Amino acid sequence: MRAVAVDISGRHKLPDGRYCLVCVAVSAVLSPFNVQKIDDMKMIKSISDEVSIDVISELVLRSSAKFGGVIVTEPGEFYNLPEWRVEAILGRKFKYAESIGERKAIEIAHHASLAAHRMIQEL
């Protein structure tokens, strides 16, 4: 299965009251139990005054725009909204992670987004 695993780091307010968000999309081929191949990865940084569904969906769409496949995230990325609603917001195929392969792909995106977020904070 071709999928785009997405993770966002930085949902904690900075001292100035804004949020520094890093969204990573990983384009991968998955099996039920593993990540078979990573084709590409894209990182997007955004400074925002809020972390609304609009901000999150824009980041996800921008980071995954050039990749084909279903977008896969953890339920918390979209505040546990039903899958059909997130799919309607994004305008493309979407699902929450179910298989081990999907979770592993999201874990890869998470490590990249967290590392990039930490690096940005140190600058």
Where do the domains of the chain lie? 2-122
Residues with Cβ < 8 Å from 17, sequence gap 6 or more?
Answer: 49
pTM, two decimals, is 0.95
Read off φ and ψ for residue 32, nearest 5 degrees: -60, -25
Mean predicted lDDT score pLDDT of the chain = 97
Rounded CA-CA distance 76/122 in Å is 26
**Does pLDDT of 49 surpass 90?**
yes
Query: What's residue 96's pLDDT?
Result: 98
Q: Which two tokens stand for residue 78?
A: 């979209």
Query: What's residue 48's pLDDT?
Result: 96
Q: Exposure of 32 by Cβ count < 10 A (0-12 exposed, 13-18 middle, 19+ buried)?
A: exposed
7-45 pLDDT, tens per residue? 999 999 999 999 999 999 999 999 999 999 999 999 999
43 SS3 class: strand
96-119 pLDDT, tens per residue? 999 999 999 999 999 999 999 999
Q: 2-122, which class in CATH?
A: alpha beta
The alpha-carbon radius of gyration of the chain (Å, integer) is 14
